[in-house]
């Protein structure tokens, strides 16, 4: 890359940094109150000795964030479960749909196997924690080294390391990851030819000097992405920056997905942001309750300053003897002006609103020992309504790019053919619990219509295409493609006994 190209890249990175800066104070507060175990939120380095929970007195938000992240994972990408499939798109001719469906089913099972054997379940849960807390999560999807048990390797990238940029519509198009290294670790990971002489000389003089390395992934034309790894400006021996490596990707290795967003915004908004006033107030109320409890236990005392009693030497403990002057009152307890019983009512209301905002009372586990079928269906419908908008965004920003990149990696390895996941030839069949809840509602409507038609008598039966209805029900319920015969001639031959099933 030429010097002017490097300068333009550095300018784009600076613009992305400036675009993220207004969000950082809000993210720090969200991390401090809802996810304190994440190293203080947005610190440049992880400091294990720092105690970030010292100012926390109420754990309602922390528990609610954990439950919501677990619920999202169970509803969208449940571990060791088929949460997606592949099926022929509308452009596939009807006569070829059966053969294509079997091919896609085999490819989907192979892709699902690589997801299950990888660290996807571990890393996506961390991403959901960031998503619920800050509204934006970043997942790095890389190809694993040859010989690994899975072809995929995932990394949940902390928000402190990621800067993104996008278009006017608010779609994320460019990704910049900033990581800190020592010059010694940089030399161990980078070939000597990629580093200029001044940087190598600075590394010999001070191998512990820290530098920033930026990994930039930017769009390259209508399709594909350009990858650049560079030393950030200000590094010893490279004050203007230096290109370490360049390459290209067909699909972006960085996946950025958001809970919700405003018009034209790049970064998302989270439910913790909506509940932050209640979270901070509940934390303060619990702090005041604890202070009031300590006063109630130890009390506040009055003493006459008679020259005999020394308050500095008094220890309020069982069996203690406190001297006093003859005729003086000694220690006298100070009566509190009032009681703080109303605080419990306020605290219960605040905790209920926090759980409601973070969907714990609606997506949490079922407490009742018995539930009727109607209650189960209503609960599934309520889940679909609550997560409908969020699921639509995660489907577009997480699930589709995730499957598309997985197919691209396996196709490059030669494990599966190159499948165009364009919605016309091949499309995704979502099989997660949240997607199947909507499918069950569609199936119920269809079965209700079939039952109503059957009650109309024989004259209405020609209206129903039983074979097409059976195939549609199989697709809606996620039945494996090899169990469905879509070739009419083959289906008739099996039904008449001319060939074996």
Q: What integer is the mean pLDDT of 207-212?
A: 90
Closest among 251, 258, 246, 256 to 175, alpha carbons compared = 256
What span, in angstroms and rounded, lies between the C-alpha atoms of 230 and 7? 12
pLDDT value, residue 464: 83
Average pLDDT, the chain: 82
Total Cβ atoms within 10 A of residue 111: 24
Task: Please determine, for residue 500, whether its predicted confidence score (pLDDT) is greater than 70.
Answer: no
Given a contact cutoff of 8 angstroms between Cβ atoms, the answer to whether 443 and 476 are in contact is yes
For 177, the enclosing helix (H) or strand (E) is: strand 172-182
Q: From 85, 160, 73, 81, select the one nearest 122 (Cα to Cα).
A: 73
Q: Any idea which of 73-77, 122-126, 363-367 has the lowest mean pLDDT? A: 363-367
**Which residues lie closer than 8 Å to 476 by C-beta, 6 or more apart?**
439, 442, 443, 446
pLDDT mean over 27-42: 75
User: Is a pLDDT exceeding 90 seen at residue 220?
Assistant: no
Least confident of 123-132, 420-429, 458-467: 458-467
Residues 131-146, mean pLDDT to the nearest whole number: 94
CA distances from 58 to 49, 51, 77, 288 (A): 22, 16, 30, 11
Q: What are phi and psi of 472, to 5 degrees?
A: -65, -40
User: What is the spatial distance between Cα 242 and Cα 6, in angstroms, rounded to a whole number?
Assistant: 8
The beta-strand segments (E) located in 239-298 are: 242-249, 254-258
Highest mean pLDDT among 24-33, 359-368, 435-444 belongs to: 24-33
**What is the pLDDT, as a whole number, of residue 47?**
44
Note the pLDDT of residue 81: 87
Average pLDDT on 178-189 reads 89
List the structure tokens of 279: 């979270």
- The DSSP secondary-structure symbol of 387 reads S
Token couple for 228: 């650049």
**Residue 76 near residue 400, CB atoms below 8 Å:** no
Partners of 228 in the beta sheet?
216, 246
pLDDT at 90: 87
Could you tell me which of 112, 110, 139 has the C-alpha nearest to residue 127?
A: 139
- Enter the tokens of residue 335: 């009566």
pLDDT at 444: 80
Tens digits of residue pLDDT in 249-308: 999 999 999 999 888 889 999 999 999 999 999 999 998 888 877 777 776 666 666 666
Burial class (CB in 10 A: 0-12, 13-18, 19+), 494: middle
pLDDT band at 99 (very low <50, low <70, confident <90, very high): confident
CA within 13 Å, CB half, 279: 28
The alpha carbons of the chain give a radius of gyration, in whole angstroms, of: 31
Over residues 321-349, the mean pLDDT reads: 68
Rounded to whole angstroms, the Cα distance separating 294 from 317 reads 15
DSSP 42: S
Weakest mean pLDDT among 48-62, 141-155, 370-384, 473-487 = 370-384
The tokens describing 64, both together, are 């609610």
In 3D, which of 83, 217, 229 has the Cα closest to residue 140? 217
403-446 pLDDT per residue, tens: 999 999 999 999 999 988 888 889 998 888 777 777 777 788 88
% of the chain at pLDDT higher than 70: 79
pLDDT band at 320 (very low <50, low <70, confident <90, very high): low
Residue 335 pLDDT > 50:
yes
Taking residues 41-50, report their average pLDDT: 45
CA 344 to CA 339: how far, in whole Å?
A: 11
Instruction: For Cα atoms 246, 251, 257, give the angle at the middle one, nearest 5 degrees.
Output: 110
Compute the distance between CA of residue 358 and CA of residue 131 in angstroms, rounded to an integer: 12
pLDDT band of 383, cuts 50, 70, 90: low
* Residue entry with tokens 């600076």: 14
Q: What is the pLDDT of residue 169?
A: 81
Rounded mean pLDDT, 130-148: 94
**Confidence bin at 200 (pLDDT 50/70/90):** confident
């Amino acid at each position: 890359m030429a010097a002017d190209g490097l300068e333009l890249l550095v300018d784009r990175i600076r613009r992305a940094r400036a675009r993220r800066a207004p969000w950082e104070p809000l993210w720090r507060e969200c991390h401090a109150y809802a996810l304190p175990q994440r190293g203080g939120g947005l610190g440049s380095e992880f400091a294990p000795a720092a105690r970030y929970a010292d100012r926390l007195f109420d754990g309602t938000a922390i528990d609610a964030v954990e439950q919501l992240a677990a619920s999202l994972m169970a509803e969208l990408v449940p571990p060791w479960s088929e949460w997606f499939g592949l099926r022929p798109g509308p452009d596939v001719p009807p006569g070829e749909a059966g053969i294509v469906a079997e091919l896609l089913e085999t490819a989907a099972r192979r892709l699902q196997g690589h997801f299950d054997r990888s660290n996807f379940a571990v890393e996506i849960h961390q991403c959901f924690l960031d998503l619920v807390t800050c509204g934006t999560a970043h997942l790095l999807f890389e190809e694993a080294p040859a010989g690994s048990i899975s072809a995929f390797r995932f990394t949940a990238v902390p928000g402190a390391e990621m800067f993104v940029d996008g278009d006017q519509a608010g779609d994320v198009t460019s990704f910049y990851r900033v990581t800190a290294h020592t010059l010694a670790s940089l030399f161990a990971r980078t070939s000597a030819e990629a580093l200029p002489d001044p940087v190598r000389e600075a590394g010999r003089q001070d191998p512990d000097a820290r530098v920033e390395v930026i990994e930039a992934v930017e769009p390259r034309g209508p399709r594909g992405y350009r990858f650049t790894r560079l030393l950030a400006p200000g590094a010893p021996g490279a004050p203007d920056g230096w290109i370490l490596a360049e390459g290209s990707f067909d699909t972006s290795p960085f996946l950025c997905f958001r809970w919700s967003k405003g018009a034209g915004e790049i970064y998302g908004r989270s439910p913790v942001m909506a509940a932050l006033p209640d979270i901070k107030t509940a934390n303060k109320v619990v702090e005041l309750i604890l202070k009031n409890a300590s006063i109630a236990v130890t009390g506040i005392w009055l003493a006459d300053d008679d020259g005999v009693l020394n308050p500095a030497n008094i220890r309020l403990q069982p069996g203690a003897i406190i001297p006093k002057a003859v005729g003086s009152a000694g220690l006298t307890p100070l009566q509190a002006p009032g009681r703080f019983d109303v605080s419990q009512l306020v605290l219960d209301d605040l905790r209920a609103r926090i759980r409601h905002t973070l969907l714990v009372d609606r997506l949490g586990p079922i407490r009742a020992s018995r539930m009727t079928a109607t209650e189960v269906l209503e609960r599934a419908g309520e889940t679909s309504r609550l997560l409908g908008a969020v699921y639509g965004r995660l489907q577009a920003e997480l699930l589709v790019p995730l499957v598309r990149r997985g197919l691209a990696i396996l196709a490059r390895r030669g494990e599966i053919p190159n499948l165009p996941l364009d919605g016309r030839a091949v499309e995704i069949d979502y099989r997660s619990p949240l997607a199947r809840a909507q499918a069950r509602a569609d199936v119920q409507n269809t079965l209700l219509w079939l039952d109503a038609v059957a009650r109309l008598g024989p004259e209405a039966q020609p209206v129903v295409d039983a074979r097409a209805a059976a195939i549609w029900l199989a697709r809606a319920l996620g039945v494996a493609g090899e169990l469905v015969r879509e070739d009419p001639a083959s289906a008739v031959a099996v039904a008449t006994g001319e060939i074996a099933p």
